[in-house]
Structure 1
């Protein structure tokens, strides 16, 4: 499959960045929160579409009690909760079993994002998501959906030299697992700021025999300086130049970044290639959860508020 020709499609996206195709790609979007950011939200039901999948990020050092309390609260508001399980932060197999039992018993969780985690050395027997999969714990506990991390622009944790060999091998392992189990699996990616690297990566996975759907990570609206800081700390690759170029334009420096342009390009590609592995988008609310959800609502994906709630939110 040839890489999508952005020059050819420019007239279809310019001036109509939130057209029908972009709104369709956003439908069913997921969003990520942390216990400390979720605590600032009075009601998720008032800011998110019903049934939205909410990932709960487990930053190393966060007490598991805070993770479970957050998952329980969001689940009770009617949302599909997907906690992160960071392999390197799990101190033992017994701890993993305890986490899973508590997530299920207290928050009725049946899905998880498996990833290595953000620390260099494992605290227990698990070093990466493949170790978590091979533990058999998720099979034994009847988890219905497992997502794994994707790195379109590489990962310094997996391939320190900046290559993709280990990243691709890990996805091949996970694809094989998906084929031999009943678990619904998908790939959710790190955020990026340019469509071309994401599309090229998705096409390369399809050519390598990967069939797991891809949920592309996008940064929700935020200040440019905030995004550059997060992007550099997270190892975002070639697409970072989009932000750097914007930062050099004084007229745009103080304006908030929004993902309209990248969504338009991705949506145009998906419309032209409906068989693509790209299934949807996942928002990282780096500028704040309310900022993100206000923007998504303005583009057609907000909650169905009751009249009283609408009046309260308008004040």
Structure 2
């Protein structure tokens, strides 16, 4: 959710299992008050906030400490998601999320678990070898500092690169739990727009496999095929380690929560 999504959270709260993690974004057009208000709303709704820390958007260490201090005051600093962020040029001292992790500031404010980014289909602006080194370095740094870690991936439409990437993560000796980014149900045009923005593969073969109809862009699509196939493939792979889902709520919090609840009920039958 973003800082503007509090009404959507309240609308969806009865459909979301108590204790679920809800990520709170760090957008350039939102301020500290909005981020803190959103994290507080997550707690009051019975969930666990995971506020984002966008490293390159931080202008100073003082700004990071102010943010973490405000989160700690409301009991929302235990879990964070450290990511590099969009600006090509850092606005302050942190070139990437690894710099934030290595700063030692997180522990001062009660951070216990740090989510870090994973890119099964690569990143449009970062070479693959750089991504792998960053993942290894961040995993090592978190382990050395005694912080728990979770890898949270960019969303995907195709299970093949996701499963291959998970195997490579484990081959490299990283046993961190992985949460696979999964688009919640949304309009097809909206999903494809986000895919283009984030460099996610969305060619004709993949969108057909996912369930899109390119002849009806006004329709909607959900992740039924993706989630079912991913579950089947991982069940066949004893070495995949702990893997769960992270939903990107492009179509709204309630639509995603309703879908997940219905899908869980159907698959339990």
TM-score by length of 2: 0.91
Change in 2 beyond 3 A, CA 1:297/1:101: same
Asked if 1:176 corresponds to 2:140, the answer is: yes
Matches within 5 A, 1:135-146: 135-146=103-114
Query: How many correspondences in the alignment?
Result: 264
CA displacement at 1:208 relative to structure 2: 1.5
CA displacement at 1:226 relative to structure 2: 0.5
Return the alpha-carbon distance in structure 2 between the equivalents of residues 41 and 155 of structure 1: 30
The range that moved more, 173-182 or 189-198, is 173-182
Q: Which residue of the partner structure matches residue 42 of structure 2?
A: 74
CA displacement at 1:50 relative to structure 2: 0.6
4+ residue stretches of structure 1 with deviation over 2 A? 37-45, 106-109, 139-142, 237-241, 243-250, 252-255
For 1:120-179, what per-residue CA distance to the aligned partner results, in whole angstroms no more than 9, with x for missing partners? Answer: 22111112110101111112223111010111111134x1xxx30100000110121233
Q: Which residue of the partner structure matches residue 125 of structure 1?
A: 93
Q: Which residue of the partner structure matches residue 214 of structure 1?
A: 178
For 1:223-248, what per-residue CA distance to the aligned partner results, in whole angstroms no more than 9, with x for missing partners? Answer: 11111101001111367752278666
Return the alpha-carbon distance in structure 2 between the equivalents of residues 201 and 220 of structure 1: 21
Q: Which residue of the partner structure matches residue 12 of structure 1?
A: none
Q: Which residue of the partner structure matches residue 93 of structure 1?
A: 61
CA displacement at 1:38 relative to structure 2: 2.7
On the 8 A contact 1:154/1:237 being kept in 2, the answer is no
RMSD across aligned positions (CA):
2.0
1:151 pairs with one of 113, 119, 129: 119
Give ranges in structure 1 of 5+ residues lacking alignment. 1-32, 302-315
Give ranges in structure 2 of 5+ residues lacking alignment. none
Q: Which is bigger in relative contact order (C-alpha 8 A, separation at least 6)? A: 1
Structure possessing the higher radius of gyration over alpha carbons? 1
Return the alpha-carbon distance in structure 2 between the equivalents of residues 129 and 278 of structure 1: 23
TM-score by length of 1: 0.79
For the residue of structure 1 that corresponds to 2:115, the secondary structure is strand
On the 8 A contact 2:11/2:254 being kept in 1, the answer is no
For the residue of structure 2 that corresponds to 1:123, the secondary structure is coil
Q: Which residue of the partner structure matches residue 299 of structure 1?
A: 263
Return the alpha-carbon distance in structure 2 between the equivalents of residues 299 and 119 of structure 1: 37
For 1:13-50, what per-residue CA distance to the aligned partner results, in whole angstroms no more than 9, with x for missing partners? Answer: xxxxxxxxxxxxxxxxxxxx111123334355312111
